[in-house]
Homo-oligomer: A and B are copies of this chain.
Amino acid sequence: MHQHEMSTCSVFDGAVFISSEMKLTEDFKRDTHPNKVNLAGREYVGEHGHTTWLPLVRKIKQQIATDPTLFPEYPPILGIPEFTQRATELALGKDSPAIVESRVFGIQTVGSTGAVRLGAELLRSWYCSSSSWSGPILLSSPCDDSLTGTFKAAGIEDVQHYRYWDAESNDVCVENMVHDLENAPERCVVVLFASGHHPTGAELSQEDWKRVAEVMMKRQLFPFFLMSAQGLCSGSLEQDAWAVRHCVSLGLELLCAQSFSYSFGLYGERVGHLLCVLKQNMLAVQSQAEKLVQTLWSCPPMEGARVVATILSNPAHLVEWQESVKGIAEHCMLIRERLRERLRLLGGPGHWDHITKPGGLYCCFGLNAQQVEFLIKRKHIYLLPHGCLNVSAINSRNLDYVAEAIHQAMHSQL
C-alpha cells in the first residue's frame, strides 16, 4: 500500500545538493595518515591534542547536575537574568555609562550565531523606523561565509564588504578599512571584530580603533560587534573589550554578539549573548526582541548559561576563571613564538611578525589555493583558505612537522 503514491513527484524535487562547510572536518576524520593534523577546527585544543574542560567549569557542571533546588523549567524567553546581567558587565565593565544610564539590555542566545541572527532580525525590523530595511550591511573581507549567510537569511540582502586583511602584509590594513568606511553609505551597519577576527586572526590596535570609531561617528554608521573570544587574545578581559567600550563611551548605539564558547570551553552548550546599547526606547526594542525569539527558538538552553552565571557571580570563581583565560592566551602566544622560531630557522625569505603580532587562536599565512591544497593533500595538514589556521592545535609533537610543511608549501614552486 505504501508504494502507491511513490510515483508522484516530491515536493522537494527542486532541491540541489550543496557542499557542506564541514567538509574539511569530515575529510580529516576519514584521513588515516599517522601525521594528520587538523588546524581548521573551531575549538581551543591545547597541548594534550584534544579539548579539555576547565576544571572549574567541570565542577560547576557537576554541582548543577546534583543541585536539589533546581527543578526542570523553561527559562524566560530572553534567557536567565543573572546570566544576561553578568554577560553585560563582562563586555562593558560594571561602571559603563550605558549600565549607569540604564540604556543597555542583553539577550541570552543559542551561541553567537544565534546572537548574530537575532541582531540581524532586530535591525531588519526596526532600523531607522523602516519596517523593510534590507541593508546595506558591511562585513570584513575576508570573512566567514556563514556570517554572510546569516545576515542574508535574516532578510538583509544588500551585504557589502570593507577591506580588512591585506595579503601582502598578512595584517590588517587600517588605511583601506578607514577609506572604505569613509565611502560607505551613511547610517549603514558595519560588522566589527572585537576580540580576534575569524579566520585571519588579524587585530586592530587601540589607535586603529580610535580612527575607526571616529569615522563611524562622523558617517553615522552603526557598529555590530562580534566578540567571540573575550580575554583569549590579549589575556585581559578589559583589553579585548576595549573597542566596544570605546564606542559606548562616545555615546554610540551598538549591538554586540558575545560568545562564551572559547573562554569557558563550552561549545556544545551553545552559550551566546546579544548586547544592545541604545539611546532610548529600550522596553519597546526588548519586547520586539522577545517576539523575534519566540519565532526562532522560543527560549534558550539553560545549562551553559547557568555555568557561566555561577562563575561570573562568585568573586573566587571569577579570579580562577580569569587565570584560566590568561593561561589559554599565554599558551597560544607560546605556540606562535615557537612556530615563528622554527620557520625562521628553516630560512628562506619572508617575515614572520604576522604570527606573533596578534593573539588568540587564529593566524593567517596568506597562502594561495595551490599551497593550501599541497598542505591538505600531500601533508595531511587541514587548514582554512588563505592558509588561516587555529594555532591551538599545534603542540610539541606536531610542531616540527607543521613548520616544515608550511616552509615547503611557501618555498616550493607550486
Cβ-based interface call for A32 (8 A): no
Interface centre among A4, A9, A64, A154 (most CB of B within 10 A): A9
**Identical subunits present:** 2
Cβ contact within 8 Å between B61 and A270:
no
A14 to B268, Cβ gap below 8 A?
A: no
**A15 adjacent to chain B (CB < 8 Å):** yes
A117 contacts B295, CB within 8 Å?
yes
A53-B66 contact, Cβ under 8 Å, with A252-B5, A278-B12, A294-B21: no
Enumerate chain B residues within 8 angstroms of A301, measured Cβ to Cβ.
110, 268-270, 301, 303-304
Contact call B284/A113, Cβ cutoff below 8 A: no
Q: Which residues of B contact A58 (CB under 8 A)?
A: 65
CB < 8 Å neighbour of A10 from B72, B270, B279: B279
Interface size class of A (residues with CB under 8 A): 35 or more
| A126 adjacent to B14 (CB under 8 Å) | yes
Q: Indicate if the CB atoms of B303 and A131 lie closer than 8 Å.
A: no
A43-B73, A296-B296 as given contacts; A14 in contact with B129, CB under 8 Å: yes
Tell me the nearest residue of chain B to A265, going by C-beta. B72
Which residue of chain B has the shortest Cβ distance to A252 in the bound complex? B5
Interface residues of A (CB under 8 A from B): 1-6, 8-22, 42-43, 50-53, 58, 61-62, 64-66, 71-77, 97, 110-114, 117, 121, 123, 125-131, 146, 149-150, 152-154, 187, 217, 220, 222, 248-253, 261, 265-270, 278-281, 283-285, 287-288, 290-292, 294-304
